[in-house]
Amino acid sequence: MIVALRTPDGSCTWLGCDTQVSGGNLKQEYGPKWLIHEGWAIGIAGHLRTVNLVEHQLGSLVRDLSDPYEFALRVREVMKADGYHGSEEEPGPLTLGGALILARSDGAWVIEADFSITPIAAGAAWAEGSGREVCMGALHALLALGGSLAPGDIVRRALDATMALEINCGGRTWTHQLG
């Protein structure tokens, strides 16, 4: 589970995730699913191999990065070069699995499995991965409280709710403020 929350004034982005990975019927503690480098942060929901790959290629993925579209092109090529491939029967764009969130202090964007890009508006939050629906519901409810909670508390509480209810989420709650 990865989460990004933009503050209402757009000056800061809060990141969060659980720290559990699972495969088959096994789970283990891994660490943050967010990688931060040169002012950019990349959250990865999906295969652990994608976290490993993005971490290994992090410098080249964000070096002189101009925008989210360029990032989507770069990460797609890195994944294809590593052997990721979509189904030959797929109509439309290549889909390589998983989802990413690209963020910096003044913006955040969801990069879907087909590499389409959706901006996260100031004052809004988004979640990807196992437990996404539970986390989105918790984020919506907590944001509706109208500023009675700090942004970091909203992210933390939404992740705690998700880890309590979603079997594939667990470990520790990790949060970080960009900006």
Q: What is the dihedral of CA 47, 35, 5, 171, to 10 degrees?
A: 60
What the block records as the tokens of 63 is: 């070096």
Mean pLDDT of 87-92: 69
pLDDT in tens, 42-68: 999 988 899 999 999 999 999 999 999
Name the residue ranges covered by the structural domains of the chain. Answer: 2-170
What is the share, in percent, of the chain residues with pLDDT greater than 90?
Answer: 82
Q: What is the pLDDT of residue 90?
A: 65
Mean pLDDT of the chain: 93
At residue 135's C-alpha, the angle toward residues 96 and 179, to 5°, is 85
For residue 97, name the pLDDT band (cuts at 50, 70, 90). Answer: confident
Look up the pTM and report it. Answer: 0.94
Superfamily, domain 2-170? Aminohydrolase, N-terminal nucleophile (Ntn) domain (3.60.20.10)
Higher pLDDT, 83 or 151: 151
Higher pLDDT, 4 or 92: 4
Mean pLDDT of 66-85: 94
**Which residues pair with residue 22 across a beta bridge?**
27
Alpha carbon distances (Å) from 175 to 18, 158, 160: 9, 11, 11
